[in-house]
Amino acid sequence: MASTIRVRATSSGETTEVQALIQHPMDSGFIKDAKGEIIPPHFIQQLTFEYEGKNVFTADWGGGVSKDPYVKFAFKGGKKGDELKISWVDNKGATDTTTAKIQ
């Protein structure tokens, strides 16, 4: 199965800029379907970015984040060719992990 995470990481000088798009329904548990029944909550609880074994960005989310979330941030460090590890865990126990080479 293909990863739900698409990442672009670019290094310039001392800073690495990261952009990520994650495919996930991010259902809050407050929305109804066409039949009028509530769609159960299904959302990413934690999103983590690691560089050289250390967390450079962590997000603790709830049902208030929109479908297919987009994240953009920068951190000091990172060299071209190095790898960045990205992973998430949702409230139903599903996970996904991928790595991206810094450009």
Across residues 95-102, what is the average pLDDT? 97
**Statement: residue 1 has pLDDT above 80:** no
pLDDT score of 13 = 87
**Statement: residue 92 has pLDDT above 70:** yes
Across residues 31-56, what is the average pLDDT? 96
Encode 8-53 in three state secondary structure.
Answer: EEEEECCEEEEEEEECCCCECCCCECCCCCECCCECEEEEEEEECC
**Statement: residue 14 has pLDDT above 80:** yes
pLDDT band at 2 (very low <50, low <70, confident <90, very high): confident
